[in-house]
Structure 1
Amino acid sequence: MSDEIKHECGLAYIRLRKPFSYYLEKYGTVMYGLNKLYLLMEKQHNRGQDGAGIAAVKLNVENGSPFLHRMRSNAQQPIADLFFKVGQEVAELERYQPDIKKHPALMKGHLPFMGELLLGHLRYGTQGKNNVEFCHPFIKRNVTPAQNLALAGNFNLVNTEELFDLVNIDPGEFQKQSDLAAMMEVVHHFLTKEDEKAPNNPDVAAVLKKATPLFDGGYTIGALLGNGHSFVTRDAHGIRPAYYYCNDEVIVAASERAAIRTTFNVGENEVLELMPGSALIVDNEGGYKVEQVQPAKERRACSFERIYFSRGSDEKIYRERIALGYHLSHRVLESIDHDLKHTIFSYIPNTAEVAFYGLVKGMEDYLNQIKIQRIMSWGNDFDEEKLQEMVTRKIRQEKIAIKDVKLRTFITEDASRNEMVQHVYDITYGTVQKGLDTLVVIDDSIVRGTTLKESIIRMLARLQPKKVIVVSSAPQIRYPDCYGIDMSKLGDFIAFRAATELLKERGQENVLTDVYNEIKELQRTNQLHTENVVKKIYSSFTPDEISAKIAQLITPSDLDIPVEVIYQTIEDLHDSCPTNTGDWYFTGNYPTPGGNRVVNKAFINYVDGKNVRGY
């Protein structure tokens, strides 16, 4: 994604089912659980680089001894920072007893994070706050073990104010800014109620059945309780991803299947998806069950997971990204008038590489059909040289763009700043026949278009191609997200700006006024959640009309090289990614009422000139 956005978070959960002595004997280390937690988090580091945190619960400790520990970091490399500190603690213990790692009981007694229950989290600051206080897990302590709670998740909620009201809490300034704080209060409220019924053995499923239906958003959350129980649960639409793996040694859950597979060296079918509305619940003895804690609703798993967010090492995601690129090949062929001889294909940025392979595969299939037809049409009228020339034709692929190290824009004056931004990418000279070759570059998605205009298009223009075609493996991003991706301001979207420009050009500016007035009326009657009124802004235009306007908007005014933009269609997106149908950022069809409220509020903010989030 050439336009960097903040997105997603990652969850890692481990429950050890054997004594620490077992892992020492079998794997040669008492730190088996911590080592695996580190790997599980590192294999998901793509999901959050603003901060990280870990929590541990120890079982069967002596009365009065601490059993719940937590550490968080917002260092530049937060995962490494956390486990470096754990390593320092181990080294300090070894100073006094060099062979302490051979004594599981001593290690457990002296090393804070030597717990049977482990929870890790990676954070992207969708709230825009990167202080360490906002890093998960959050904890709530109590003299009753079962009412001690560590909570972390991958989510955004859009009804935090209502949640605080529900449990009669007047939130402080910090709590107001954190949806996890609201979720924590609700879960703990019902946990306390259940603990009163069965002291130190509350019914976790009952807690979740009461708490989770109240959350308006997409989420995967994990929790450790002080009495040794724990759970991981997922929203009813399955918006945020969750996977788990169990054997007689461990119970594991994470945001990505591939992370579990790599960390524990297991097959694809051994790692299961935690289905929408269900919870993986583990008791203090290490027994587990998967229970439906709220009725599953229409599956709306986030399609951006497949397009961009999740690691492409997952074989299903890899195939889906290939398909995304392949589906675009027909439209690209039409745009270049099927002239493969004078077309060069490339990708920007590196995360678009797999979709690029799919696009090239589509071109190769077309070229192979042409080869067969031409050779068949020759009959016997060919020689070895003619045949050799035909069969060796290939799709022209080049590494056109190179992303340099991130440039620090220390100059604040606009003209100089823009000049610096132009050099985020560099080009490979000598790859293009000037004025003759068309350049086709594929991107994962186009959000704001800023990097395209200020850097990439200018950079490509230096090669003097005949034409530049920018291809997006995602459809046009038209609407805010409120389920875990930091895309909440309508004015940031190049597709929205294109639609408003078209309205102005065609003398239809009244549509903007009408939409604003309609939304304000919904706000007055507390009905913002009932309808996405912003859809009306796009209804007068075809996707191709908006794409053409986007091409104009991302083309610097002083360039005379034609620029075209081709987007994925909604239909081809769903055909490529059939299990992840969440497409509200493209279609405006939100899975929960809170989505409509967010998009309508975002439009009010846009018209009123407020540069704030829509929730």
Structure 2
Amino acid sequence: MCGIVGVVSNSMVNQVIYDALLLLQHRGQDAAGIATNHSSSFAMHKANGLVRDVFRTRNMRSLPGNVGIGHVRYPTAGSTSEEEAQPFYVNAPFGITLAHNGNLTNAEQLKIELFKNDRRHINTDSDSEVLLNVLAHEIQQATSSYSLDPATLFGAIARLHNRVRGAYAVVAQIAGFGLLAFRDPYGIRPLCLGVLETDKGDEYMIASESVALEGLGFRFVRDVEPGEAIFIDEDHKLYSQQCAENPSLNPCAFEYVYLARPDSIIDGASVYATRLKMGEYLAEQVRHHMASGAIDVVMPIPDTSRPSAMQLALKLNLDYREGFIKNRYIGRTFIMPGNVSRRKSVRQKLNAIGSEFKGKSVLLVDDSIVRGTTSREIVQMARESGATRVIFASAAPPVKFPNVYGIDMPTRQELIAYGRSNEEICREITADALVYQEVSAMRRAIADVNPRLTSLEASCFDGEYITGDITRDYLDRLEAARNSPNSMTEDGVPSQLNLNLAKGE
């Protein structure tokens, strides 16, 4: 999971991109970068850290131009090298910078093809650099002179779709020509288009989430369709074309469960509304599994689960209380590498209000349970605060399978629900009872908000990989690489050597 943004403006674009990245900071806290284009020359600054820490006044002044792209990265295991901060740059043809959200499942094969056939060198372990070089090669093959028209560019994207597998939402700049954006044929990772009408002409923004558009005054126009490419030239003329042969919309269910901001709209569905619906369906499960009077109060694990918890309490006519207060200066624990970091961060991030727990049977509602590390800590905090009984409910189904499309869930052994019954999971997190959402109910909750969303990428819940190229052998190789005795650092993070194997590189 990462956040990307591209802007075509009538004035200096660096501040707009910076502000957009702040609005997308929840999608990545590990690194940030901006690349701008001025007089067919690129300027770039990127580094590890939060947006506010990466960019100083001197850095912003060094980013001139009316067109630019930005990126925030979250720490997928092993990719903490500053060299892998985005955007990436390649100097031929024309000069291209690129920012990517997602994960390529055939990066190993592509890297071999690029070296042997395309004579292109990959300098990092990032699949985003692989994707950039595939794009550059296909554009180069399609052009014979220093000229590039939209039809030629869209043809290059069509050939890229035929070569690349996995999930990818992309913004890229082509020096002297304009801004390019495209989305994989399955529409797994989100991407949307906005416009700002000004006296000097229309300005455009393309971003991972609509909150980035609306927060900066851009009018949300639409989502980029699966397989579609959009090109905005230097005269601000917008071109779009479907570049995939058989596109289908399969947005990542985990975006609605956890990743996206609640005030975003992704593929026509309000994230907030889907989480309310998940709370309604979860209430049915709680009613089915728990005796009347067994719960005194409902509490969310802030912040993502709050809509589901509120709606659940309303449906069951139970008191709703805020039992945990969140320190907003601590990062999201799900996207922190290593169990040690996550356990330590939970106590720093959340503080319990003892009076809300004391002597009560408490139903804690979280958006999901991935590794179980934070859930166990939270249950223990509730008991320490005086709760007589702690019931845990997950607004999402059990996470049983690895995600290979850009979320850091690479092995089955790291997932608490893999190979365990609900009763065993309940004991692992030390709760008195555990209630999970059903997969079918999660799907209904999202489709209730937008009936068009009849198919979701929900592989981490149901084990069905939408791209059709993920085999048991593929997952076994990921797992073997991660579990190698030499693959882990002290904090449980895979070493760089074994991560390369895990990523298929």
The answer on 1:329 being equivalent to 2:280 is: no
Q: Which amino acid aligns with 2:112?
A: D
Q: Distance in 2 between matches of 1:79 and 1:194?
A: 40
Q: Distance in 2 between matches of 1:275 and 1:492?
A: 33
Q: Which amino acid aligns with 2:362?
A: L
Q: Distance in 2 between matches of 1:174 and 1:335?
A: 54
Q: CA deviation at 1:419?
A: 9.9
Structure number with greater Rg is 1
TM-aligned CA distance change 1:420 to 1:600, over 3 Å: closer
Residue in 2 that maps onto 1:440: 363
Q: Distance in 2 between matches of 1:417 and 1:276?
A: 36
Greater percentage in strand: 2
Matches within 5 A, 1:570-585: 570-578=439-447, 579=453, 581-585=456-460
Q: Which of 416, 425, 429 is the equivalent residue of 1:554? A: 429
Matches within 5 A, 1:463-502: 463-498=385-420
Any conservation in 2 of the 1:127–1:178 contact (CA below 8 Å)?
Answer: no
Q: Which of 137, 142, 146 is the equivalent residue of 1:189? A: 137
Any conservation in 2 of the 1:136–1:151 contact (CA below 8 Å)?
Answer: yes
Residue in 1 that maps onto 2:177: 228
Q: Which amino acid aligns with 1:10?
A: G
Q: Which amino acid aligns with 1:291?
A: Q
Any conservation in 1 of the 2:36–2:68 contact (CA below 8 Å)?
Answer: yes
Q: Equivalent residue of 1:222, what SS?
A: strand
Q: CA deviation at 1:116?
A: 2.4
Greater percentage in helix: 1
Any conservation in 2 of the 1:164–1:185 contact (CA below 8 Å)?
Answer: no
Q: Which amino acid aligns with 2:288?
A: E
Q: Which amino acid aligns with 2:35?
A: A
Q: Distance in 1 between matches of 2:260 and 2:373?
A: 24
Residue in 2 that maps onto 1:239: 188
Q: CA deviation at 1:256?
A: 0.3
Q: Distance in 2 between matches of 1:212 and 1:47?
A: 25
Q: Equivalent residue of 1:180, what SS?
A: helix
Q: CA deviation at 1:164?
A: 2.0
Q: CA deviation at 1:608?
A: 6.6
The answer on 1:399 being equivalent to 2:322 is: yes
The answer on 1:41 being equivalent to 2:54 is: no
Q: CA deviation at 1:363?
A: 1.5
Q: Distance in 2 between matches of 1:167 and 1:362?
A: 56
Q: Equivalent residue of 2:304, what SS?
A: helix
The answer on 1:12 being equivalent to 2:5 is: yes
Q: CA deviation at 1:277?
A: 0.5
Matches within 5 A, 1:9-408: 9-16=2-9, 18=10, 20=11, 31=12, 33-58=13-38, 61=39, 67-75=41-49, 77-82=50-55, 84-87=57-60, 89=61, 112-142=62-92, 147-169=94-116, 174-175=123-124, 177-196=125-144, 198-201=145-148, 203-246=152-195, 247=197, 248-266=201-219, 270-314=220-264, 316-339=270-293, 343-364=296-317, 395-403=318-326
Residue in 1 that maps onto 2:450: none
TM-aligned CA distance change 1:603 to 1:168, over 3 Å: closer
TM-aligned CA distance change 1:346 to 1:214, over 3 Å: same
Q: Equivalent residue of 2:413, what SS?
A: helix
TM-aligned CA distance change 1:125 to 1:422, over 3 Å: closer
Residue in 2 that maps onto 1:426: 351
Q: Equivalent residue of 1:250, what SS?
A: strand
RMSD: 2.7
Any conservation in 2 of the 1:432–1:463 contact (CA below 8 Å)?
Answer: yes
Q: CA deviation at 1:328?
A: 0.7
Residue in 2 that maps onto 1:23: none
TM-aligned CA distance change 1:468 to 1:184, over 3 Å: same
Q: CA deviation at 1:356?
A: 1.2
Q: CA deviation at 1:172?
A: 6.8
The percent of aligned pairs where both chains have the same amino acid is: 22
Q: Which amino acid aligns with 1:275?
A: E
Q: Distance in 2 between matches of 1:419 and 1:313?
A: 28
The answer on 1:449 being equivalent to 2:372 is: yes
Q: Equivalent residue of 2:143, what SS?
A: helix
Provide the aligned length of Structure 1 versus Structure 2.
Answer: 462
TM-aligned CA distance change 1:421 to 1:309, over 3 Å: closer
Any conservation in 1 of the 2:251–2:456 contact (CA below 8 Å)?
Answer: yes
Instruction: Flag structure 1 segments of 5+ consecutive residues without an equivalent.
Output: 1-7, 21-30, 90-111, 365-394, 408-415, 499-545, 556-561
TM-aligned CA distance change 1:449 to 1:47, over 3 Å: same
TM-aligned CA distance change 1:474 to 1:50, over 3 Å: same
Q: Equivalent residue of 1:231, what SS?
A: strand
Q: Deviations over 1:184-208 (max 9, x none)?
A: 2211111211222x43325211111
Any conservation in 2 of the 1:147–1:195 contact (CA below 8 Å)?
Answer: no
Q: Equivalent residue of 2:216, what SS?
A: helix
